[in-house]
């Protein structure tokens, strides 16, 4: 309608269209509007089809996820545990003694036994010994019989890296 009004504004007073010309112009304008409307409808239908397709894909994915959430998880097959390397056992104590790695020292025997059991489960060959320090008995978890200080220190480092045990010390014979 605006386009028609603009065309009519350019007409001079003597150029006034007759009723037939006005009707023809209006019909032409209506046909153009119908073509524009048809093109817009096509674009809208195309967009709606894309939205429907996307919604369908979204619904399918949502159903898959909901089904997965309702399905109990299958137990995961555990791989066979990797073979643990054999711990570097301290050598058997020599008759004259040897160096000792004191892994931990506890004021009660029960605490020491608990620590010893946990490390024994991990394959560490340790012993429980009582030691009297300043008149008080301490229960030590220790590895005995190292030939030299370097071997004992290496064992203490291995305990620290494998089991997170810090603070072990080497006692001389």
pLDDT digits (tens, 9 = 90+) for 82-116: 555 444 545 444 434 589 999 999 999 999 999 99
Selection from 147, 155, 94 nearest residue 124 by Cα: 155
Average pLDDT score over residue span 15-22: 72
User: In the block, which residue shows the tokens 């006005």?
Assistant: 22
Order of all β-strands in the sheet with 169-171: 127-133, 136-146, 99-106, 169-171
**The predicted structure's pLDDT at residue 43:** 87
Query: What predicted TM-score, i.e. pTM, was given to this entire model?
Result: 0.45
| Residue 149 pLDDT greater than 50, yes or no | yes
Q: Residue 19 is encoded by which pair of tokens?
A: 């009723």
- Cβ atoms of residues 153 and 97 within 8 Å: no
Please answer whether residues 85 and 122 qualify as being in contact, where contact means their C-beta atoms are separated by less than 8 angstroms.
Answer: no
- Which pLDDT belongs to residue 86? 46
- pLDDT of 95: 39
Task: DSSP letter for 122, please.
Answer: T
Q: Which two tokens stand for residue 118?
A: 């946990």
Report the pLDDT averaged over residues 2-25: 70
Residue where the block lists tokens 């009707």: 23
Digit-coded pLDDT (tens) for 29-88: 888 899 888 888 888 888 777 777 776 676 667 666 666 666 665 454 455 555 554 445
Q: How confident is the model at residue 12 (pLDDT cuts 50, 70, 90)?
A: low
Handedness of CA 168, 170, 171, 173 (dihedral sign): positive
Residues whose CB is less than 8 angstroms from the CB of residue 124 and which lie 6 or more positions away in sequence, other chains included: 87, 143, 159, 163
Rounded to the nearest 5°, which phi and psi values hold at 54? -65, -40
Q: What is the mean pLDDT of residues 149-170?
A: 89
Q: Are the CB atoms for 107 and 130 separated by under 8 Å?
A: no
pLDDT of residue 132: 92
Q: Are 137 and 130 in contact (CB under 8 A)?
A: yes
Tell which wins on pLDDT, 152 or 46.
152
Higher model confidence: residue 28 or residue 85? 28
CA torsion angle 10 34 21 18 (round to 10): -80
Residue with tokens 């045990």: 165
The residue that leads in pLDDT, 73 or 17, is 17
Q: What is the mean pLDDT of residues 137-165?
A: 91
């Amino acid at each position: 309608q605006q386009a028609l009004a603009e065309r009519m504004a350019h007409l001079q007073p003597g150029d006034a269209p007759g009723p037939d010309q006005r009707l023809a112009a209006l019909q032409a304008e209506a046909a153009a509007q119908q073509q524009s409307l048809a093109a817009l409808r096509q674009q809208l239908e195309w967009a709606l089809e894309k939205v429907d397709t996307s919604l369908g894909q979204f619904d399918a994915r949502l159903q898959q996820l909901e089904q997965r959430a309702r399905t109990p998880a299958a137990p995961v097959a555990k791989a066979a545990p990797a073979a643990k390397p054999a711990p570097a056992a301290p050598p058997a104590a020599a008759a004259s003694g040897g160096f000792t790695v004191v892994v931990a020292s506890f004021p009660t025997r029960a605490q020491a036994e608990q620590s010893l059991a946990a490390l024994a489960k991990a394959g560490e060959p340790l012993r429980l010994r009582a030691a009297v320090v300043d008149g008080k008995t301490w229960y030590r978890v220790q590895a005995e019989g190292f030939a030299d200080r370097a071997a004992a220190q290496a064992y203490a480092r291995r305990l620290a890296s494998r089991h997170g045990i810090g603070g072990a010390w080497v006692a001389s014979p």
